[in-house]
Chain A
Amino acid sequence: MTIMKLWITYSVVFTCGILILLLLFRASTNPEEVILGTWQETDWKYEKGIAFAADIAAASKSKTTQPEFSFHKAEDWEFLPGGRLRLTIAGQEEILSWCMKGRGHVLQIKYGNDRTENYQLTVLDNHQMVLNAESDVQARGIAQLIFERKKTETYAQKIQ
């Protein structure tokens, strides 16, 4: 009888734990889905800005490898399903690949030449995305990229 009671207690506790987890998952949205769409870079913020820029410049001079981060300025980033990322820079398009790591808090962008950039996804909601470019090699500072979701007009909106 005691063993039966014990089994029931343990089963109930574990089932409750699993149910809470499932409920949390149901109540939330997967960041891989939230990120899909077009985002426009609105701002760059540098913490220790001069140090960051100087370090990147120094890194690119002292080493034959490319600096760890590219300067993305006023670009449109379109996250497509299947891990493709379309960057529009001054009207020119570039296709890269993207994926998320960890608990969905790291955005990894891969260039064709085996170069990879990792960004911390600080904010990701339906309107805003904030990426922290953290470098642990050469750049001592942290750069923050701020995006706003670009609203794409539907056909109905266009003909109004």
Chain B
Amino acid sequence: MLRKYSNSRTLGDNVRLGVLTAFSAGMVNIASLLLFFSFSSNVTGHYAILAAELVKGNLFQAAVVLGWVFLFFFGGFVSNMFVINLNKKNTYIAHALPIVLEIICLVAVGTYGHFFYKETLAETEVMLALMLFAMGLQNGLTASISNFTVKTTHLTGITTDLGILFSMFTRKEYRRSKELKNKAVLLLSIAAAYLSGAVVSGITYMHMGFRLFYVVSVFLVVVIVYDFYKVKLFRYLHVKRKTPYTRPVQLSNAKHFPKMQIQREEEEEVAAC
């Protein structure tokens, strides 16, 4: 999910990353709406609100919203800074660090909200700011590593793309295109995961309150651990291959199996790292 970059990513990589992060974003967005009466995973509405508050002369509210928009932007900025500066040294670390930061922000919100929150406006605004920064980090990372294919914190672009794709599918030549079909699968998966996350969040919020952010963090930990496990496995296989007496073993009589599969996976791993 996180090791591969840009065009070396497969549909499976993008779907796995998209589904898990979109589910988390859906949960965070509804949690923030129910707990704080404000969205945290998209900023389109915040731009409109900013304009409205400026027109009404509510400078305090305008400043708050401007701060939130800035933090979403800053999340994307920080995320991509990690990706472009650390990618050559260690792809996995470069891609995992923004998720780690996001988990820290969400756990901080969950812990503070559960144990210390006194429902003052300042606390509410700071916690929302942290959530917007976390969502900016996530969106920046997924967009950056997937060559802008996967964006998981809002569905405006995805819904537009789906509209365009489905209109294209009215023509036979586009219906046959594997690339377009894959794209539709990816976008539908993201939209479904986001909606599922939002529904789950709405149902569990009444019972869990701020502990909901721990659940979201668990999903993000899965994203990190999945690849960490794969990296460890690859290293293990790589070391084993270097030992003099190990040879690929033909386990099946079927032609080219599993040698060919192993070879292809190794080539993919090398390309990714």
Cβ distance B232 to chain A, nearest Cβ, rounded Å: 36
| Complex alpha-carbon distance, A10 and B84, angstroms | 17
- Near B by CB (< 8 A), chain A positions 1-35 give 17, 20-21, 24-25, 27-32
A49 CB within 8 Å of chain B: no
For window 103-134 of A, CB contacts with B under 8 Å fall at: 103-106, 108, 118
How many chain B residues touch A (CB < 8 A): the figure is 22
The answer to whether A118 touches B37 (Cβ under 8 A) is yes
Contact among B37, B53, B119, B121 with A30 in the assembled complex (CB-CB below 8 Å)? B121
- A17-B70, A31-B121 are known contacts. Are A24 and B59 too (CB-CB below 8 A)? yes
Q: Does A91 contact B (CB under 8 A)?
A: no
Pair B121/A105 contact, Cβ less than 8 Å: no
Q: Is the CB of A21 within 8 A of B70?
A: yes
Given known contacts A99-B119, A100-B121, is B63 in contact with A28 (CB within 8 Å)? Answer: yes
B66-99 with Cβ < 8 A to chain A: 66-67, 70
A21-B67, A30-B121, A83-B119 known; A103 vs B59 contact (CB < 8 Å): no
B64-A104 in contact (CB<8A): yes
A31 to B120, CA, bound (A): 11
CA distance A141 to B62 in the complex (A): 28
CB nearest to A122 among chain B residues:
B56
Q: How far is the CA of A68 from the CA of B120 in the complex (A)?
A: 23
Cα A105 to Cα B38 in complex, Å, equals 10
Is B236 close to A, CB under 8 A?
no
- Distance between Cα atoms of A101 and B36 in the complex (Å): 5
Q: For the complex, is B250 an interface residue (Cβ under 8 Å from A)? A: no
Interface residues of B (CB under 8 A from A): 36-38, 49, 53, 58-67, 70, 118-121, 124-125
